[in-house]
Structure 1
């Protein structure tokens, strides 16, 4: 089994570390436990999408390009949703 490092793999590991931090160092109000729920959902989605991209794209350079474009698209979409829906 070859270990291939991809952008969504890096994002998944960062999300896992942030979830662990929020759960290990709680605050007095308990809001950090609530904040870890969206991160868990993002972790699951990034892991599944990484596996889908790995399955359908065999070349590592194309995986990097497509996953970076996917991450940029998702970030822009999240910013637009935050600006127009939650303002």
Structure 2
């Protein structure tokens, strides 16, 4: 039986505003996928769940697919919501 792993995820823009903080720590069962981490953040910050659902996870500065396995040793995890501008 594998132990759970805790990972810190940086939050940006509207997700950060809804959470009221710049980072959240989530605990998941390994192997942790990007989709699992996104779901864990949505459960922890339900006010931002709709925005989190359309956000992408970046691992060490690169966007990853939902099935990407996130390793506990990855240096930086960031949840990036869609951006619009003019």
Normalised TM-score (structure 2): 0.29
Structure number, greater radius of gyration = 1
Normalised TM-score (structure 1): 0.29
Q: Higher strand share goes to which structure? A: 2
